[in-house]
Structure 1
Amino acid sequence: MGLTELLVIGVIAVGGVFGRLNSRQPSGDTPHRIVGGADVPPGQHIPYQVSLQYKTRGGQMHFCGGSIIAPNRILTAAHCCRGLNASRMSVVAGIRGLNERGSRSQVLSYSIHPNYQELVTSDLAVLSIKPPLKLNNASISAIGYQSLRKEFVGGGVPVTLTGWGLRLPVPFPFLDNVNYPTVLQRMSYHTISNKDCRDAGMESVTDTEICARGPFRGACSGDSGGPLVTQTDSGPKQVGIVSYGLVVCGLYISPDVYTRVSTFSDWIDNQLE
């Protein structure tokens, strides 16, 4: 890995003084959860969830999440990609634990939304991968998003987050074996209105984003790019992409900010062509 790439991943992992991008440079194995989450039970799968991994001298390392939207396309956050070498990136599908083999595909390229501004707006990207994933509607399947194109998700909507991110409010140095999980975590809470989100300190939130909040739970470092999902009559639908929050994770006063998928459905559709 080159110096530039190390610096990019380092900056992503640390975040700003106020804002916190929810990705990380991983190193180590741990047994537990995202903040306020719980292990996905043995034998169960979140079939649309993938682990984004980066090839380093130490091996393949998880640093972000993503979701399957087509056999050869992955939806994730722009800040999980910007400045990184696609040839070192891969995705692993069909796994519950990061120590499982799963189905690995190489990232060929990524497209970042042209309006992306870090900690401001349009934090999404689409990865092209090879070989295409073999969808089996059990451990590997795509998540829908198109039916939400005309729907604006407001406050009070139950949503579910999954990921392998930090399970503590802040990382403790030299304690990766406590900080980070190897087993996929699942956590549920509710969206809040964008007005309530701004009133809670996320002043730059716009209608291109969704906020969610719950007591002592939320996204954290390593969860970036992962899917925020709600249940509909036609099954699970992705409404958000993990983007950013305040420096300390999982505080009730500090909402999580997600990219609003419905705002960008047309752009995502164009990346599938």
Structure 2
Amino acid sequence: MTITRLRVAAAVLGTAGALVAAVPAAAMSGGQPVTDPGTAPWVATLALRGDGGLLQRAGCGGALIAPDRVLTAAHCLDGVDPSRQEVHVDARTLSKDPGEVRGIRGVSVLPGYRIIPSPANPDDPNDASAANDLAVVLLDRPVTDVAPLPVARHRPAAGTAVSFFAHGTTGHTPDWRDDVLHRGELTTLDAGACTAGTPATVDTASVLCARDSNGSGGATVTGCFQDSGSPLVQGGALVGVFSFGGETAGRSCGEPSAAYFADPAAFRAWAYAPALPREPYPGGAPTVTGSPAVGGTLHCTAPAWNRARGGNPTTIRYSWATVTTAGPFTIPTPIAGAEGPDLTVEPDLSGTWVACLVTAANGAGTVTALSTAVSVP
């Protein structure tokens, strides 16, 4: 089980226009497979909606904290279109067990969430840390046959044994991802040891650290890709949500490092608030009209906003990108200077596919919706 935070640089989208993340999320290297079906049924997996296998579509982790809500990392959903995502609860083996599948009826990001550039390398988002890195996912239907994992009331003291549950990247080939749910044993660190392990800025008010000092199953449990948002548990309660890991200190998957978790106990009242504000929720995809021929002009129209599932946007921004596909994912490459609802088609775009992105934000978070791509002859 190796864990590294979901990067915040390059956008990756589903073929239906779902922004799923900015580069891959963290995952577990080391640890042991969880074979007991009664252990950790509250583990959640966020995934692109689609027809492909869950192992190929899965992204971040999370934990069911109430029948109708999952707690995950904010960076897993910041700038993502929630209408193109789904949540799987108790999916123990991703390749063959989808678990309980739910849609998303709303997302609320913790106030104060922010990405903190590394003082040592501020231009590389891979080295960045995060503060207040939590988000609540409201499910379209409650999960009634799985007992939720309660959020702890207090942060565990330094030296406490804790367990980390994740489905992420192993850091090794050919088994690049933990298909079967894994568990790793860690020990919490004090603030001094937490901040000493990385040149990144660690917001100790909202972040707690844990480390495998003994190794689990012969391999040290660390952070890697695809496990951002995954739960840290102690005494039957959620004490951490994975945020970032050894990548902030230049370490690769499997290299010994502390793991850094958002502290849900510090924000327990917010996580359980009955009427959370919600980020904008696209009611569809943006539309592109006009001429895609070189010299022509394309126009982007924002989607309608689903007021039943999200709040009103306070800002809306338009941008354009060329897009390529890789399996179930669409990878947009921003077109330099192409901001605003209109795009003049320049000769260098000939032979590409072009789409517009509409980014809407309010106090509860940010979403980005992608249009269907159009071909430039």
- Pairwise same-fold verdict (TM > 0.5): yes
Computing the radius of gyration over CA atoms, which structure comes out larger, 1 or 2?
Answer: 2
Matched residues in 2 for 1:211 and 1:71: separation?
28
Query: Within 5 A, what are the aligned runs for 1:57-68?
Result: 58=52, 60=54, 61-68=57-64
Tell me the CA shift for residue 221 of structure 1: 0.9
For residue 130 of structure 2, what is the aligned residue in structure 1?
A: 120
Query: Within 5 A, what are the aligned runs for 1:157-196?
Result: 157-168=160-171, 175=173, 177-196=174-193
Counterparts in 2 of 1:266 and 1:10: CA distance versus 1, 3 Å = closer
Q: For 2:228, which of 217, 224, 228 is the aligned residue?
A: 224
Matched residues in 2 for 1:271 and 1:63: separation?
27
Letter in 1 for 2:222: G
Counterparts in 2 of 1:229 and 1:4: CA distance versus 1, 3 Å = closer
Tell me the CA shift for residue 103 of structure 1: 1.2
How many residues get paired?
Answer: 236
Matched residues in 2 for 1:43 and 1:201: separation?
37
Tell me the CA shift for residue 241 of structure 1: 0.2
For residue 49 of structure 2, what is the aligned residue in structure 1?
A: 55
Counterparts in 2 of 1:188 and 1:11: CA distance versus 1, 3 Å = same
Structure 1 portions without partners, runs of 5+: 14-20, 24-33
Tell me the CA shift for residue 68 of structure 1: 0.6
Q: Which has the higher contact order (CA 8 A, sep 6+)?
A: 1
Structure 2 portions without partners, runs of 5+: 1-9, 116-128, 277-377
For residue 310 of structure 2, what is the aligned residue in structure 1?
A: none
TM-score, normalised to structure 1, is 0.79
Higher strand share: 2
State the secondary structure of the residue aligned to 1:178.
coil
State the secondary structure of the residue aligned to 1:179.
coil
Q: Is the 8 A contact 2:21 2:76 kept in 1?
A: no
The farther-off stretch of 122-131 and 46-55 is 46-55
Query: Within 5 A, what are the aligned runs for 1:1-273?
Result: 5-6=12-13, 9=20, 11-13=22-24, 22=26, 34-56=28-50, 58=52, 60=54, 61-98=57-94, 99-118=96-115, 119-135=129-145, 140-146=146-152, 148=153, 151-168=154-171, 175=173, 177-201=174-198, 203-205=200-202, 206-214=204-212, 215=215, 216-231=220-235, 236-247=236-247, 248-252=252-256, 254-270=257-273
Counterparts in 2 of 1:105 and 1:10: CA distance versus 1, 3 Å = closer
Matched residues in 1 for 2:65 and 2:275: separation?
9
Matched residues in 2 for 1:239 and 1:142: separation?
14
Matched residues in 2 for 1:202 and 1:129: separation?
37
Counterparts in 2 of 1:271 and 1:166: CA distance versus 1, 3 Å = farther
Tell me the CA shift for residue 5 of structure 1: 4.5
Matched residues in 1 for 2:80 and 2:61: separation?
15
Tell me the CA shift for residue 94 of structure 1: 2.6
Identity %: 28
For residue 27 of structure 1, what is the aligned residue in structure 2?
A: none
Letter in 1 for 2:208: I
State the secondary structure of the residue aligned to 2:112.
coil
Counterparts in 2 of 1:209 and 1:202: CA distance versus 1, 3 Å = farther
State the secondary structure of the residue aligned to 2:49.
strand
Higher helix share: 1
Counterparts in 2 of 1:154 and 1:12: CA distance versus 1, 3 Å = farther
